[in-house]
Amino acid sequence: MEEFAKLIDRLIYTRSRNQKLDLIAAYLRDTPDPHRGWALAALTGDLEFPNAKISAVRTAANERLDPLLFKLSRDFVGDTAETVALIWEARPQPKDAETGPISVGDLVEQLHNVARKDAPALFAQLLDRHDPDGRYALIKLATGAMRIGISARLAKTAFAQAFSLNVDDVEEVWHALQPPFLPLFDWGEGKTHKPDISDAACFRPFMLAHPLEEEAVDMAEYVVEWKWDGIRVQIVGTRDDVRLFSRGGDDITAAFPDIAENFDAIGVVDGELLVRGDAQGDANTQGSAASFNALQQRLGRKKVSAKMLREAPAFVRLYDILFDGKNDVRALPWSERRPLLDRFQPKLQQGRFDLSKIIAVDDFEQLRLVREGSRDAAIEGVMLKKRDSPYIAGRKAGYWYKWKRDPLNADCVMMYAQRGSGKRSSLYSDFTFGCWNEDGELLPVGKAYSGFTDEELKWLDKFVRQNTVNRFGPVREVEKTLVLEVAFDSIHSSKRHKSGLAMRFPRISRIRKDKPAQEADIIATLRNMID
């Protein structure tokens, strides 16, 4: 427990990602099984103890401490775990009781086995055995809410780093394993092979595309598909289970039962999750998809209502196949995988799954025209896939390219600024900008924190500091004099914002020091850009 507590304490105060990785990796290398596995699960959010909740800690605190002093302290600190860690009044232990810090493994075992009614007493006994750092770490581990700025991905990356493995390989087996991940550590230490996960409905890392930057590619080597604006999704069907994963490996099955229930096959496929509608595409393309906004209504939900299923039915436009039945086909070239996908798709419920159309393009000039037309067809752009590319994790140069349509542009006026985080914490780098309405009032239309060079950022930061008219906590309101040319992929109507508009991927493309603020764009112009 002492080592884990030290790790948590240092992670809290470490800002650099590399230093965080080093700290976690060193802990995972130096700590024996099963303790390190449980600790890793705590960091990735894979630990849960149904009977050991924060309310039990609160009960224990109120029994041991003066309730008003505890309450006042809790109000000040803002976090029950930290408050209890700081003010716990330890009692001397009875003679026969175990004293001193507990091991992570023993802690997990006791938390697993405790009955709900006994949890406060267990916490009291555990808190008595630890110092404030140990108490903090054990409450955080027990109650699951670490909130120390470590994502699951970062913890897995640290594991990979600790044992010189590829993080995508780790990600691939991760979902099939349970804490304390003994096969994972055995593999890491070279004692066994990579764990066999063929029967589990688990996530495989996605293959991703590079933006097209080279002038031209040889169209004899590439196929072209439309780039749809939904979310990439992976569907995994095994004999007993179907799972949907987002690009980051999050299990989103519960939010899309209309997809999962209609996937009745064994295999793993990759596609774009979309909602039925007519915003994207037209008669000449493939179409029948709603805007990203419509899909967004359905994302991030634990449960989905019948009304939502009816009004915003989801479907998947299939791009690729990773497993055909139980056969891993990822090493095959795209040109051999696609026919497998063509044969796989008819096994699925029609209307819920269709195939991404291959666009006939003879040469690069023609592709240029196709891409230019994608704005009219309200499609995000085109994808280029090398015919001989295997399906491999991550971005591999030369295999897949995305070529988005040219962005839209608008001249907006800077309204508010906020400091960035990490390396940018001393700089005002997040900007809210607006356009004029008919009454000559500026309304915010978006927020951007990229697109500028380091030099430009320095200039913008200086502008903010010299033109502040108001402060609202971390936010500065500035003199409405600076015009920013903002580039964005598309714009949609939105009820969330006063302007009624929401931009997709806005970034600052130019600082228009030459342009007076009065000549910035009006809201109506932006509204006309809605697809």
Partner 1 sequence: MRAVETALVTHGHADHARSGHQRVYATPETLAIMDLRYATHDAGCPVAYGEVFHLGPVSISYHPAGHVLGSAQIRLEYNDETVVVTGDYKRRSDPTCAPFEVVPCDIFITEATFALPVFYHPPTQDELQKVLDTLKTNAESCVLIGAYALGKAQRVISELRAMGYDKPIFLHGALAKMCTLYEQFGVDLGELIAVSDAQKTDMQGHIVMCPPSALNDRWSRRLPDPITAMASGWMRVRQRARQRNVELPIILSDHADWTELTDTICEVNPREVWVTHGREEALVHWCGLRQISAKALRLVGRETEDDG
Contacts with partner 1 by CB under 8 A lie at: 12-15, 65-66, 68-69, 72-73, 76-79, 82-83, 86-87, 136, 419, 425-427, 461
Peptide bond into 34 cis (omega under 30): yes
Closer to partner 1 at the Cβ: 68 or 397? 68
Write down the least CB distance from residue 499 to partner 1, Å: 32
Closer to partner 1 at the Cβ: 15 or 387? 15
Closer to partner 1 at the Cβ: 109 or 133? 133
Write down the least CB distance from residue 132 to partner 1, Å: 8
Helix/strand/coil for 319: strand
Closer to partner 1 at the Cβ: 36 or 140? 140
In 14-114, alpha helices (H):
17-30, 35-44, 54-64, 67-77, 80-87, 104-113
Q: What is the dihedral of CA 402, 422, 79, 155, to 10 degrees?
A: 50
CB-CB contact of 123 with 22 (8 Å): no
402, burial (CB in 10 Å: exposed 0-12, middle 13-18, buried 19+): middle
Write down the least CB distance from residue 467 to partner 1, Å: 15
Centroid of chain to Cα 518? 39
Closer to partner 1 at the Cβ: 25 or 137? 137
Query: Can you give 146-191 as a three-state secondary structure string?
Result: CCCCCCHHHHHHHHHHHCCCCHHHHHHHHCCCCCCCHHHHHHHCCC
Write down the least CB distance from residue 68 to partner 1, Å: 5
Write down the least CB distance from residue 472 to partner 1, Å: 16
Write down the least CB distance from residue 3 to partner 1, Å: 18
Closer to partner 1 at the Cβ: 419 or 510? 419
Of how many residues is the chain composed? 531
282: which DSSP letter?
-
C-alpha closest to that of 340 among 318, 360, 362? 318
Write down the least CB distance from residue 30 to partner 1, Å: 17
Instruction: For residues 57 and 54, give the distance between their C-alpha atoms in angstroms, rounded to a whole number.
Output: 5
Write down the least CB distance from residue 419 to partner 1, Å: 8
Closer to partner 1 at the Cβ: 424 or 510? 424
For CA atoms 255, 261, 267, 270, give the dihedral sign.
Answer: negative
Write down the least CB distance from residue 73 to partner 1, Å: 5
Closer to partner 1 at the Cβ: 73 or 291? 73
C-alpha closest to that of 491 among 438, 435, 450? 435
The enclosing H or E element of 231 equals strand 231-237
Closer to partner 1 at the Cβ: 66 or 261? 66
